[in-house]
Amino acid sequence: MIRLAPLLLLVLTSSSQAYIGLCCGKCGGNMPMNIPGGGVPETHEFRVKISPVVMHMEGLVDDTNKVAVSDVLGMPVMMGTPTGKYMAAPESMDMSMQNVMLGYSFTDDFFAGLMLMHSSKSMDMRFNSMMQAVTGQQGFTMKSNGLTDSMLMTKYRLFTDDPLIPRKQVSLLMSLSLPTGSIDERNNRHPVMMRRNELLPYGMQLGSGTFDPTVGLLYQASSSPYWWGANLSYTTRLYDNKRDYRLGNELKLDLYGMYQLRQDFLVQLQLNTLDRGKIRGEAGESVSGFSGHITKNDPDSPFMTPLWETDYYGKQQLSVTVGFQWQPTSLQIIDFSISKPVYTRTSGLQLKDDYRLMLTWYIEMPTKKSRRYKKSSSPSSLGF
């Protein structure tokens, strides 16, 4: 806590909060770890966030209605006429991600960072009766894993009532998603050999295949021991990727409140909203000697699953997130949160989000230019 002494002194000798929270005073004291852009790091300091994430999806939903998997399985085409049934349908999905972010605050108001992500996806599929007879299996599991899209992020503070220990601040967030994630993942676990070289559906790919900009407006306020804020962001897809489609645009609004129970521990509550558009375009692929876009009504098409219906990827969702933050030592925070949807409305048949768990190890690293830097001979010192 020695490195925080100058800031604590400022607090104690002012009429502001009784204490500044777990994070640096310039961050606003406390900030959410699961929402991009939280806080403004102390000037000339590095920020590192390491965040494993686990997500689970289970059960089909159409609009706001639950749908049984057995109700959508059947013969897709009868006598040349679509039936609205599928040869295979998803039952559940598990995804784990490992996120690492490194950022640096260049001035009192300007911050930039880079986030790298790795993802592993696993989706259980059930066959219709014909495919069960052909394969001798009830279904199979699709899997993909690897580096996902990376993100460059900048944040500029537009307003603050105090440059060192703000009680109110407004910031502009801008980021660019880089297409480092693959959109060429193959269905290599399919029990039918001839299907194993086909593309996995959109949701099982690892990236968007496009450079995607995001712009956001962030508000943060506090009256110790309370902290609250609102983050509004919009991500747009400007063009089609090499497979002739683009993912849907996304609008997010996150509202959060925090209460600090003691000097090193707080609890938090969030409302997270998402409005995601449908996929535009359609993936091109070559199957059984045919090159081009696959016709969904072709009985030989591998796309006889709702996962290839581009209109089925739009969604509006409201989730509640609860969690805590603990400061085990100066300049470090451990954050845990769990999110659960309370309202979901989809544009078509989709797997429903069940829960999302996130654990974050947050580290502040003062450089010699930082106000908080203090030379130490201790090997555990994070200052350099």
How many other C-beta atoms are found inside a 10 Å radius of the C-beta of residue 96?
Answer: 16
Interatomic CA distance for residues 251 and 316, integer angstroms? 9
Please say whether the beta carbons of 4 and 154 come within 8 A: no
Residue 19 banded pLDDT, cuts 50, 70, 90: low
Give the pLDDT score at 298: 44
Give the pLDDT score at 10: 36
The angle subtended at Cα 369 by Cα 366 and Cα 371, nearest 5°, is 70
Give the pLDDT score at 295: 44
Residue 291 burial (CB < 10 Å; 0-12/13-18/19+)?
A: exposed
Mean pLDDT lowest among 193-197, 224-228, 272-276: 193-197
Interatomic CA distance for residues 295 and 293, integer angstroms? 6
The model's pLDDT over 346-366, given as tens digits with 9 standing for 90+, comes to 999 999 999 999 999 999 999
Give the pLDDT score at 9: 34
Give the pLDDT score at 122: 98
Q: Report which listed range, 14-28, 143-157, 276-290, is most confident.
A: 143-157
Mean pLDDT taken over the chain? 87
The model's pLDDT over 160-203, given as tens digits with 9 standing for 90+, comes to 998 888 899 999 999 999 999 999 999 999 998 888 888 899 99
How many other C-beta atoms are found inside a 10 Å radius of the C-beta of residue 237?
Answer: 23
Residue 128 banded pLDDT, cuts 50, 70, 90: very high
Q: What percent of the chain has pLDDT over 90?
A: 71
Structural domain spans, the chain: 2-366
CATH architecture of 2-366: Beta Barrel (2.40)
